[in-house]
Amino acid sequence: MQDVERLKQRIPLLDYLRQHHWTAHATGQQEFVGLCPLHHDHRPSFYVNARKNLFYCHGCGRGGDLIRFVELSQHLSFCQSVALLQRQLAAPRVGAVLEQAAAFYRLQLHRHPEAAQYLERRGLRDAALIEELGIGYAPGGNLRRHLTAQGYSLDQLLDTGLINQHGRDTFCRRVIFPCWQDDQMVNLYGRSIGAAFPHRLLPRPKGGLFAWGSVCLFSTVILVEGLFDLAVLWQAGFRNTTCAIGTRLTPAQFTQLCDPPHRFVYIVFDQDENHAGQQASHQLAERLQSAGTKPYIVQLPPGHDPNSYWAAGATAADFAARLTEAQPL
């Protein structure tokens, strides 16, 4: 219990809420009020006592400390909530290692012709966009030496997952996309350019929806499976595109997509031969509709995802037509 109390002292409830975009007004010394993050609140009813580190909502009747708030907002158990907060405390340290690795990978992208050729085959040609997304390349065999020279221990590299138990680079011959959340790098995604399994994330949370800080400003959002899908659509001007890195949204990603309600969401998943992408589209659309959003399922030619559709010669006008033809659930 002492560890739990220290955890709550290190992460003040008010700071945590503000980091998650809660807007409050002072009502007295160390007392704050705002809309309740736990239910659809139209009149400020959520009170925080910063001195006691406690909250109470007069609308939904729920209250407690920081851990209780995480339990309610993230739908987690007590132990899961404590573990989540402990990971967040460690995030700045881990984020620094990931940023160093991502910067190293960005340098490698321009030193290895096979990486540039791979991007060209995938239809990604805009140098400014490649730089904006922070795309890099992991040739393998040299990350450990680089990071240890920066002062990081082998144990730290093993903890992040960047190096495996054999001391080798986890991302070998992979194009790298950094994943950010709340100005912290939380993970790296690697896409194999060879025969290895195509997709790889570090054994860490993948974070929220990709680039949600900018995409959430749009009332109409395009949701795709992969980061190459997102990249080619951004390249074509569809900057309202986001990605969950897969078809299964985490609870936090689903909440992002549904807030505010009544958003238009165009789901553009892969048109798989085994219909996995199509089934995932319909299941997600049903969940989104139940949550109050307006989902549309976009049909691409059989066997295609947005990236392959683009690489095969589709234009922005072609994709816009697909959006126009999309039917609501």
E strands present in 245-313: 264-268, 294-297
Does the residue 283 lie in any domain? yes
Query: How many helical (H) and strand (E) elements, i.e. helices and strands, does the chain have?
Result: 14, 14
**Is 288 inside a domain boundary?**
yes
Tell me what pLDDT residue 97 has.
92
Instruction: Using DSSP bridges, classify how beta strands 327-328 and 294-297 pair: parallel, antiparallel or unpaired.
Output: antiparallel
Q: Is residue 106 part of a domain?
A: yes
**In terms of domains, do 68 and 115 share one?**
no
Whether residue 177 is found in the same domain as residue 245: no
Instruction: Write the CB contacts of 93 (distance below 8 Å, at least 6 apart in sequence).
Output: none
Task: Indicate if 60 and 105 belong to the same structural domain.
Answer: no
Q: Which of 94, 92, 231 is nearest to 175 (CA)?
A: 231
Per residue in 26-83, pLDDT (tens digit) is: 898 889 999 999 998 889 999 999 999 999 999 999 999 999 999 999 999 999 999 8
How buried is 89 (Cβ within 10 angstroms: 0-12 exposed, 13-18 middle, 19+ buried)?
A: exposed
Residues 40 and 121 in one domain: no
Looking up residue 230, the CATH number of its domain turns out to be 3.40.1360.10
pLDDT at residue 167, as a whole number = 83
What is the helix (H) or strand (E) element at residue 217, kind and residue range?
A: none
Helix (H, G, I), strand (E, B) or coil at 91: helix
Q: Which residue has the tokens 């990604």?
A: 124
Q: CA–CA separation, 23 vs 75, rounded Å?
A: 22
Domain boundary (74, 102, 119) is at 74
Quick one: pLDDT band at residue 201, thresholds 50, 70, 90?
very high
Confirm whether 80 is domain-assigned: no
Q: Are 12 and 54 in contact (CB under 8 A)?
A: no
Give me the CATH number covering residue 32: 3.90.580.10
Residue percentage of the chain with pLDDT more than 70: 98
Q: Does 156 or 242 have the greater pLDDT score?
A: 242
Task: Specify whether 135 is located in the same domain as 48.
Answer: no
| 51 inside domain | yes
- For residue 254, give the nearest of 301, 230, 221, 276 by alpha carbon: 221
Which are the contacts of 34, defined by CB distance < 8 A and separation ≥ 6? 22, 23, 24, 25, 44, 46
Q: What's the pLDDT tens digit per position in 11-29?
A: 889 988 987 888 888 898 8
Q: Calculate mean pLDDT across residues 73-94.
A: 85
Let me know if residue 156 belongs to a domain. yes
pLDDT in the model for residue 90: 67
In this structure, are 216 and 194 located in the same domain? no
Query: Residue 206 domain-assigned?
Result: no
Give yes or no: residues 120 and 150 share one domain. yes
**In this structure, are 169 and 148 located in the same domain?**
yes
Q: Are residues 136 and 222 in the same domain?
A: no
Instruction: Flag whether pLDDT at 2 surpasses 90.
Output: no
State which of 18, 44, 74 marks the end of a domain: 74
State whether 267 and 290 are in the same domain: yes
Residue 282, pLDDT score: 95
Same domain, 194 and 281: no
Q: What letter does residue 169 receive in the DSSP assignment?
A: B
Do 193 and 110 lie in one domain? The reply is yes
Split at pLDDT 50, 70, 90, the class of 259 is confident
Residues 122 and 93: beta-carbon distance below 8 Å: no
Distance between CA atoms of residues 314 and 281, nearest Å:
22
Residue 296's beta-bridge partner residues?
266, 328
Domain that holds residue 139: 91-201
CATH number at residue 195: 3.90.980.10
pLDDT, tens only, 203-249: 988 889 999 999 999 999 999 999 999 999 999 999 999 999 999 99
Q: What is the pLDDT of residue 1?
A: 67
In terms of pTM, does the model score above 0.85? no
Long-range contacts formed by 83-90: CB under 8 A, 24+ apart? 85/7, 85/11, 86/7, 87/205, 88/11, 89/7, 89/10, 89/11
Within 10 angstroms of residue 139's Cβ, the number of other Cβ atoms is 18
Q: Domain boundary at 141, 176, 201, which?
A: 201
Instruction: Tell me what the mean pLDDT of segment 93-119 comes to.
Output: 94
> What's the pLDDT tens digit per position in 158-178?
889 999 888 889 999 999 999
| Tokens 């729920």, located at residue | 62
Q: What is the pLDDT of residues 144-153, one digit of tens each?
A: 999 998 888 8
150 occurs within a structural domain: yes
If one counts the domains in the chain, the total is 3
